[in-house]
Structure 1
């Protein structure tokens, strides 16, 4: 670029001086100028021009490409922006799951619920509840027996239900017993106040319980009996105590089965009328059956469980009770 300008200035200078020379001298000078013009590298000049044109074309092509890409992306980006704006205006629906907790035969367990309430699960018992709890209520479904120590929250009442029997509490301590093979459902209140609701035949009957009340609801008829009595034997299990208070053998056998995870067989019907009053705490099964045998005219035989492949128990241990 600099060389071409230098040559241009040189030619212009010589043409100026040429007009002042004689004809012969003008001819010689003109020939010299023509020869110098011929020395200009026309190929290099053309290459430079072509390079500038190509650079301009590339710039235009690149701009066109970006324009096409922007046009292609504009609609999806617009739709995404609309979707995000719309969803930001909608309330967030929190995900939840159903939690199920089971205490196997012979095992009692304690559970702390999401709200801090405590639950003691008796053997062979199951509770189910939503995690997290609903915004306006706390609901528990139960099969078996559990003792509840509920954290008070008036804005989120606590419900426990089995079948058509539903208990509503705000903050209290109570026992709920609803084994599948029992004829009755029992609710015992230790502290606070609860509302017992019977939902059957399109009727909703509500019974208020006060501390010391024991409600017995017949599953078939929904007939409800409420008595205020010494409730210790009904709730002592959650503290590790097995209490018999003038309990018939039928009740003793059922409690032993759940407490120790064994099968109890009573071979003489007469024994069913025997009654027992005693309290066991942390005693083994062998200690319990020995003491029961010493306190009444009965003979107790223990048959260990049979074990199959992979050390899996095929049958439960058995306690066979017969008359001496």
Structure 2
């Protein structure tokens, strides 16, 4: 008895192709787990496994494993090994699914499709590559399932927890990350996905490239009208109760890099008597974020500043303070408001090295 046999058993059960004895074994396992309610501690879990094992074996021995004719040694061994693996290897997994009902269907389908599962049980990030070269940074207490060899037309992984992906670009083989009720589709980019318990709250943030994020409620992974498109330095949060997507900017936007580049290009944010509109355009180009000047009178204000070493939002704070203006993030854009320059000769200076 090996894992492949067990995957086959579960797939056959799901498809209604089990024998009566196999069907009984699987259903007995589910029934007994349901009878024990909420998750237990580690020690109590071990006791529960032993109890279920004894119950299943007792019932199976009398009701299914000893019919009117003698059961062969091989059949008996096969049934015993199957139940043992299900009890010892799936009790924890079952309880996780009870607390995460949105991912039950995903997990069942993944198991039947021959996915392998990897769980980070350490306290540090685990980094590894999938068969297509995609790099995965799996956070502690997170789990991912994936196929050893991806399908020809798509690449699919199921995530519970948080991970960072650097996806290898394959235009004819899009990459899908399923997290609870949410699907993230990419061609080639890098991004974070963080799913909370039950897939009821999911956050996706993009570092490079572009992704589409949508609810998993359409056949053939079609993007629904409620989905969103994200680019670098943007994020979206999904609320399972309201079934709504809310887009915004990441907490610390970084200078974006071009496709295929290993690092962001060097940028100079040193300005000498530069019109504010040109400073804003330079920031927009560097960070890929639209910055709107509400008052056109701000456009011609001259800026002398060295803001090379500051993060984006600090840059904006320094610029706004010199102009008696302010900024605010509205969705995936930034709005700068103010009355404009007090005179044509005003030349604000910001020198923060």
TM-score tier after normalising by the smaller chain length: 0.3 to 0.5
Larger Rg: 1
Query: Quick check: which one's strand share is greater?
Result: 1
TM-score (norm 1): 0.40
TM-score (norm 2): 0.37
